[in-house]
A and B are shown apart, each in its own frame.
Chain A
């Protein structure tokens, strides 16, 4: 079953820490968003294999946009 990691707040993608096919733990760092000139780390909502990275560095995301999907 795939689970999607959603953007907790609107902001710009500063860096992406995972790649497709990578095996990650729950709470692992997925990517970093910048909002209000502050870096906010987004963590994995579950453990599993990264099946898709929807955003890339520099993208502007809205709250609840899908960032990454994880197959578990």
Chain B
């Protein structure tokens, strides 16, 4: 009987059912805990439907979700478009007024490389280790961008790890920040910033894009779109485009990206022991990046009289703007009249650029 042959129930496997649990957990975290709901909700649902039998949703060149995945993620379209939206949301003012804080964004890439070596010690290949290490950059689109090119079979896991830990930044970071700083250091009030002119922001968007791309051409898709979005915003003459990049376009891309990424997580690729290692290593990467940012800030204080509150170093992991908020809140615990938020935004944005450069170099050297 053709109908019975087509019955989905008969083709269920235990692995599929376990994956429903994984998908449901993400949906639960998204709705009840509001853990990065914009991404984890479609990813969670994507996981569930990709683990229904006989749907053909992920059938190459036919399935709907396969098309989302192929044209959105594999073709490198979705992450750069998200970067366009992020650029349109970004104000480089806080960074431009305190240029020296940009170095903290470089330091926070320390976790990426420490984890890269650790992942190799666990037996991952170079390409896999790079995709896992980049989780420490705390930048979702960049993680997806790199993993989809270097280790597509780990894409879903790396993306879920990156977004879950980004949601957990307020839990993961504060203990490390308190451990590495004294109360006096956390109470440091930073000197007021100068006002930044619009023309500085405009020129910066263009110059930064050109400099980074000349240095690391492989980072072009992300950096170019990011700075274009920022140029839209700061030019103030294309508000229609700014608004679309920030909202409508970004939302459409998130739907395609979330579903596509979730759908790659089939039982056979996800239910393996090394997935557990990826989550452990990802957490380690986050912690190491936080620590290296704080430590560089402390080192810079040795050489300068205009002290930096080392907590802003922790904002060097991208996770915009959660990491900056965390720095602000931890400082406010010691001195409630200390307003670090805007100072922390500088390293926060520098962290995004640092992670993109790191990803570009991995890509250039490993993609042959």
Contacts and interface: CB of A to CB of B under 8 A. Distances in A.
Direct contact of A and B (CB under 8 A): yes
Contact of B342 (A10, A27, A41): A10
B344 to A, nearest CB: 9
Given A43-B336, A63-B193, A38 B328 contact: yes
B339 A9 contact: yes
Contacts of A10: 342
Given A38-B328, A41-B336, A9 B321 contact: no
A42 to B, nearest CB: 9
A36 B325 contact: yes
Interface string B63-89: 000000000000000000000000000
Interface in A1-51: 8-10, 27, 35-38, 40-41, 43
A24 to B, nearest CB: 15
B220 interface: no
Contacts of A40: 328, 339, 341
Contact of A36 (B192, B193, B324): B324
A8 B190 CA distance: 11
B339 A8 contact: yes
A38 B193 contact: no
Nearest to B324: A36
Contacts of A9: 339, 341-342
A9 B193 CA distance: 10
A25 B67 CA distance: 63
Bin chain A's interface residue count.
Answer: 10 to 19
Interface string B44-75: 00000000000000000000000000000000
Given A10-B342, A63-B193, A63-B342, A43 B337 contact: yes
B194 to A, nearest CB: 10
A37 B342 contact: no
A37 B339 contact: no
B345 interface: yes
Given A43-B336, A63-B193, A37 B341 contact: no
Contacts of B195: 63
Contacts of B339: 8-9, 40
A36 B321 contact: yes
Interface string B330-346: 00000011010110010
Contacts of B321: 36-38
Contacts of B328: 38, 40
Interface string B183-207: 0000000001101000000000000
A9 B321 CA distance: 15
Contacts of A38: 321, 325, 328, 341
16 contacts: A8-B337, A8-B339, A9-B341, A9-B342, A27-B336, A27-B337, A35-B341, A35-B342, A36-B324, A36-B341, A37-B321, A38-B341, A40-B339, A43-B336, A63-B192, A63-B193
The 4 closest A-B pairs by CB, nearest first: A8-B339, A36-B321, A9-B342, A38-B325
Given A27-B336, A36-B321, A38-B341, 16 more contacts: A8-B337, A8-B339, A9-B341, A10-B342, A36-B324, A36-B325, A36-B341, A37-B321, A38-B321, A38-B328, A40-B339, A43-B337, A63-B192, A63-B193, A63-B195, A63-B342
